[in-house]
Structure 1
Amino acid sequence: MSRLPLTVGIIANPASGRDVRRLTANAGLFSSTDKVSVIQRLLAAFGATGIERVLMPTDMTGIAAAVQKNSHSRQARDSHWPALEFLDLTLRQSVEDTRKAARWMAERGVALIAVLGGDGTHKAVAAEVGDIPLLTLSTGTNNAFPELREATSAGLAGGLFASGRIPAEIALRRNKRLLVREPARGLHEIALVDVAVSSLPFIGARAISRAADLAEVFVTFAEPQSIGLSALCGLWLPVTRQEPYGAWMRLDPHAPQALLVPLAPGLLQGCGVRDAGYLQTGVPRPLSLPSGTLALDGEREIEFNLHDRPTVTLDGGGPLSIDVQAALAFTAQERLLAIGREHPQHPVNLQHQDTPGE
């Protein structure tokens, strides 16, 4: 029986880094060309670590087409890119495209999925793939879940894990999540970073960009350097990714204490802090407002009214992700990237290739 090629997936959200916060704040643009560059760096790292096949979805912004075209270049041959296979989706230009691509990759048994996007993109992929690890790459607006990493080093960490050279107990991290439940409505949604309670009655423009619209926020982790809603707790009551609890904060413009918070890149607003505390695992928390909307990982998705009783619960059953720092530390310790003279990138072979006249 023939062995199946070692396969990973890459999902790049074409819409990430392009939302309304380019208008309401000073967020930068992460273009399709930038995403193509990130993917090509991943492919070089995957090729160097033994990945044989990469699955990607098609898109309407030219990302997949550019990668496919560049796969025939000399650079791709010299870097030994893996073989590419594309899923020709019926595109809706919505989050369903991301979910469908993630399901396809899960069905094909990929060893990991590299995700290019923000918090919402990672949440959509995580909801479809179970315990397939995610290699997280930040190309969105307010990115807390995907850490900012150079794609080449991230690709090396992911590729070495997928090829079996780094054990799972070192390379993988289990993430926390927030469960939003309303039994009467059959509501069961997840957030990877934050759930914000807003007084705005309708979903409308999904992003929250005004402190006055916030009443409460729950977070799985909150780092002081974060941008976005999780920065509220990050600058008041920080919680690391590894700690077994989260945090919450109740807001009120008339509170005696206020905090200046970067709600989006270049957008700093004062938020009145009424109360804050730690969020314990497995304990459902009711909301402070009788009606309004809920934003999950930065985007309003759920409306609730006087007859609803939604709760927010922290648990430790979130997705697995590649711990790039730990994986590369193990790589250095075990010298996993040491190469012999037979390797095409050994300096002796490179010197021979560059000899004039040959």
Structure 2
Amino acid sequence: MGGKILTLADSPVVGILANPASGRDVRRLVARASVFPTVEKSNMILRMLSAMGSLGVRDVLMMPDTGGIAARVLHEQETAIARHGRNWPRVRFLEMPIEYGEIDTIRAVEQMVSQGVELIIVMGGDGTHRVVSKACGSTPLVALSTGTNNTFPEIREATVAGLAAGLVATGKVRVEEVSSQNKLLHLELGGRGEEIALVDLCVSTECWVGTRALWQPACLRELFVTFASPSSIGLSSIVGYLRPVERWDPFGVRLLLAPPGEGRFTLSVPIAPGLMQQVGVVEMDELHPRQVCAIGTGRGTIAFDGERSVAFTEQDRPLVRLEMEGPITIDIDRVMRVAAEGHLFICD
């Protein structure tokens, strides 16, 4: 693979992308969402490094940041190497400018892929994983939740996540046995480009992006989802309370929405942590692969995985379709089960 890092031991390389801004949006003010502090993100990375090192991972690439994650990892690495020696991975920070936006994530992922990482551990919310998915191609992801309203990534103990990543990266567990390809929603916006969503795409009558996060459902008019669970929070829970859809089902769902008290019926759903809101439901249909749906709302904004990103008018003629060729994710439970059944943790 062109540009791949060469190491003396020819050991596998793992990428870690930790979003320093995840878990800190406006939902801490309008709801009761918890803050995910920088120190905990750093601690998670250190636990993963320890676990991966015990399995033979010697090289890790990370995205740099100025929020404190990189600085703490570098500081702790010196102590860890002195204590654990060769069993601690060497962390290299990518050489790239920091612009405090999505472009940082895209550049970091592109560099990791071009340098041949076996997989990328992503620490962030649905929005972070959406951006990563634009650039990761067929490189598998270990999706870890450190954001808000998370549906795509999981909340996992970092040590176990590091073990799973190490088992796959070193080839002790075959990635084909423990990974799956996700669905995604694809938006075409006339001549203004394209966008994707991993979980939900929602149309609002509000005509400005503003604080990006959606928490006032009276303005919602159309909702598309790839999967939906009644155990989740956020926009996809609207579908989850009506028609649960599994992550691997070969279809999605489209809802037409209305203000509370209008439509066929009204639901009460957790739009954000601790924030129950009512929304009217007009119509529900299955969304099949490659089926193209024209957005019927004349003007407003479109949110991707819970965050408003695009304003549009009827001249843009936005179109949505469901794709089955989304990012590949590693199933941590399946990795650990395969490893246990194969007696890979026995030392003698």
Which band: TM-score by shorter chain?
over 0.9
User: Hey, what's the Cα distance between the residues in 2 that align with 1:234 and 1:148?
Assistant: 19
Of 53, 57, 62, the match for 2:59? 53
For residue 166 of structure 1, what is the amino acid of its counterpart? V
Check if 1:98 corresponds to 2:105. yes
| Residue 74 of structure 1: how far off its partner (Å) | 4.7
Which residue is 1:220 aligned to? 226
Larger Rg, first or second structure (1 or 2): 1
What is the distance in 2 between the residues matched to 1:255 and 1:48? 57
The one-letter code of the counterpart of 2:163 is L
Separation of aligned partners in 2, 1:76 and 1:217: 53
Partner of 2:79: 73
Contact residue 44 and residue 76 of structure 1 kept, 8 A? no
- The partner residue of 1:278 within 282, 286, 289 is 286
Alpha-carbon distance between aligned partners in 1 of 2:192 and 2:78, rounded to the nearest angstrom: 49
Letter in 2 for 1:306: E
Q: Which residue of 1 aligns with 2:273?
A: 265
Counterparts of residues 131-150 of structure 1 (less than 5 Å)? 131-150=138-157
Aligned residue number for residue 44 of structure 1: 50
**Cα deviation, residue 88, structure 1:** 4.0
Amino acid at match of 2:283: D
- 2:327 corresponds to: 319
1:277 and 1:36 mapped to 2: Cα distance?
Answer: 43
The residue identity in structure 2 corresponding to 1:330 is V
1:75 Cα offset (Å)? 8.2
1:78 is displaced (CA, Å) by: 3.3
Q: Which residue of 1 aligns with 2:91?
A: 84
1:54-203 to 2 correspondences below 5 Å:
54-74=60-80, 77-78=83-84, 80-182=87-189, 184-203=190-209
1:160-217 alpha-carbon deviations (Å, 9 max, x no partner)? 11111112221211000000013x3152211111100100112122111101121111
CA contact (8 A) 2:80 2:88 kept: no
Identify the match of residue 232 of structure 1 among 228, 238, 244: 238
Contact 1:70 1:76 in 2 (8 A): no
State yes or no: 1:289 paired with 2:297: yes
Q: Which residue pairs with 1:354 in the alignment?
A: none
DSSP 3-state at the match of 1:153: helix
Q: 1:148 & 1:155 partners in 2: Cα distance?
A: 13
Structure 2 counterpart of 1:111, one-letter code? E
Q: What's the offset of the Cα at 1:135?
A: 0.6
- For 2:151 and 2:58, the matched residues in 1 are separated by 31
* 2:291 aligned partner, one-letter code: V
Contact 2:59 2:91 in 1 (8 A): yes
Q: By how many angstroms is 1:319 displaced?
A: 0.5
TM-score, length-scaled by structure 1: 0.91
SS at match of 2:298: coil
> What is aligned with 1:346?
none
Identity of aligned residues (%): 44
- Where 2:109 maps in the other structure, the secondary structure is helix
Any gaps of 5 or more consecutive residues in structure 1?
Answer: 341-358
In the alignment, the residues of structure 2 paired with residue 203 and residue 302 of structure 1 have an alpha-carbon distance, to the nearest angstrom, of 7
Look up the match of 2:39. 33
* Count of residues paired in the alignment: 339
SS in 1 for 2:96: coil
C-alpha separation between the residues in 1 aligned to 2:152 and 2:322?
Answer: 15
Partner amino acid for 1:18? R
